[in-house]
């Protein structure tokens, strides 16, 4: 038996072309929701950035939002909070981070009720630092998901059966498997289940698998010709629970850790060099350096002119430009090394 905790991150840059939003929605997002509707015993965590809701409203996907609302009411989807326009939180001013978290909350309340408040929070790119974590805790959130690097700055040092406590912020933490998350997850989970069956005929083998991936993996980024995903959800040796349920079940055995800055792509070498966010702000990258100079200039100019007639127009453009994708595309990295099957900004 496997307990699978699966958080899917649904996001598209808010200013991307309409056909891109439609393609991701038709190929991936509808598929995920349909799979949940057809399998009453399955539960997933979802993070849906507020900026994607804005585009769904614009493009007429209100039916999808209503179906998501129905699954939330049934306890089949647990939604996480986040920052509305997908910035790298450790790299932006705390005041701006708070604004984007608040705007995201307002969008969720618009669709799911005025008192709707998630327990958990998805940090874009799983980019963590203590300051961002303390802000998240101060805004009423109880847990976050982090990469394996959160435990001792290394891969493979964590325990999937374990809930952790962040001594920096007071948040509870669960840790995702980087290796499994960087694969086509349904295929990998299926292979693990098959392996357990072969090695343990009496079904005594039990383990927890925690994955966090982009929702686009389920259709847009990976063509699942044989419906591995749908077949997996019907297996009797698979159970799924939400993150809040997992934390509740394991609340008596929590290990305190003190994570250092990292993201879901930080290497051990980058961690040791204290350059955890190189993908978005690398010291030697001239283009990224100038982009951050422009972002900082824009922020200070807007903040110092809040009574200007163009204030809201300027902020409209600023928050969209501050998305992590702006700096990701300027990274000049060999993107194939970042497992494009499952990882894309």
Q: Domain boundary residue among 248, 272, 296?
A: 272
Residues 176 and 68 in one domain: yes
pLDDT in tens, 89-108: 999 999 999 999 999 999 99
Q: How many other CB atoms are there within 10 angstroms of residue 283's CB atom?
A: 9
Whether residues 260 and 316 fall in one domain: no
Position 178 confidence tier, pLDDT thresholds 50, 70, 90? very high
d(CA 269, CA 275): 9
Instruction: Give the C-alpha separation, 189 to 180, whole Å.
Output: 8
Same domain, 254 and 297: no
Residue 160 CA neighbour count, 13 Å, CB half: 19
Taking the C-alpha atoms of residue 329 and residue 270, their distance in angstroms, rounded to an integer, is: 19
Of the candidates 216, 249, 272, which is a domain's last residue?
272
Per the CB < 8 A criterion, the answer to whether 242 and 45 are in contact is: yes
Question: Dihedral, CA atoms, 83, 28, 279, 170, nearest 10 degrees?
Answer: 40
| CA-wise closest residue to 120 among 208, 28, 245, 216 | 245
Instruction: Give the side-chain half-sphere CA count within 13 A for 15.
Output: 12
> Tokens 């922020």, residue?
299
CATH code of the domain covering residue 144: 3.20.110.20
Bridge partners of 256, per DSSP, are 165
Q: Give the per-residue pLDDT at 337.
A: 44
d(CA 70, CA 23): 23
**Helix H segments across 74-158?**
94-112, 130-138
Q: In what order do the strands lie in the sheet with 254-257?
A: 120-121, 143-146, 172-175, 163-166, 254-257
Residues 262 and 291 occupy one common structural domain: no
Does pLDDT of 156 surpass 70? yes
Q: Domain range spanning residue 294?
A: 286-338
% pLDDT > 90, the chain = 88
First vs last C-alpha separation in the chain: 33
Statement to judge: residues 266 and 140 lie in one domain:
yes
Distance (Å) of CA 228 to CA 35, 75, 166, 186, 319: 12, 24, 36, 6, 38
What does the pLDDT look like over 196-241, one tens digit per residue? Answer: 888 865 555 569 999 999 999 999 888 888 999 999 999 999 999 9
Residue bearing the bigger pLDDT, 179 or 342: 179
């Amino acid at each position: 038996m496997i307990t699978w905790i699966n958080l899917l991150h649904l996001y598209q840059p808010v200013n991307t072309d309409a056909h891109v939003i439609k393609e991701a929605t038709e190929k991936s997002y509808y598929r995920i929701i349909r799979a949940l509707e057809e399998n009453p015993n399955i539960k997933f965590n979802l993070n849906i950035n507020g900026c994607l809701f804005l585009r769904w409203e614009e493009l007429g996907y209100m039916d999808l939002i209503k179906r998501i609302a129905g699954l939330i009411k049934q306890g089949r989807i647990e939604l996480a909070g986040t920052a509305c326009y997908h910035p790298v939180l450790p790299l932006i001013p705390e005041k701006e981070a708070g604004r984007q978290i608040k705007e995201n909350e307002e969008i969720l309340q618009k669709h799911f009720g005025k008192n709707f408040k998630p327990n958990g929070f998805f940090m874009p790119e799983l980019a963590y630092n203590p300051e961002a974590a303390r802000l998240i805790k101060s805004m009423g959130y109880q847990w976050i998901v982090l990469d394996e690097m959160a435990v001792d700055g290394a891969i493979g040092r964590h325990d999937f059966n374990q809930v952790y406590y962040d001594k920096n912020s007071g948040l509870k933490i669960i840790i995702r498997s980087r290796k499994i998350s960087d694969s086509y997850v349904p295929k990998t989970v299926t292979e693990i289940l098959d392996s357990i069956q072969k090695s343990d005929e009496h079904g005594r083998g039990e383990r927890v698998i925690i994955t966090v991936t982009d929702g686009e993996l389920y259709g847009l980024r990976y063509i699942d010709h044989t419906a591995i995903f749908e077949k997996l959800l019907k297996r009797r040796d698979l159970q799924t629970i939400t993150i809040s349920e997992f934390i509740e079940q394991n609340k008596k055995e929590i290990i305190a850790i003190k994570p250092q800055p990292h993201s879901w792509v930080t290497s051990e070498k980058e961690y040791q060099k204290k350059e955890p966010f190189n993908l978005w702000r690398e010291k030697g990258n001239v283009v990224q350096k100038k982009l951050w100079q422009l972002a900082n200039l824009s922020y200070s100019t807007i903040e110092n002119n809040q009574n200007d007639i163009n204030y809201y127009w300027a902020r409209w453009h600023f928050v969209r430009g501050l998305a992590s994708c702006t700096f990701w595309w300027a990274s000049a990295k060999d993107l194939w090394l970042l497992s494009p099957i499952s990882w894309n900004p």
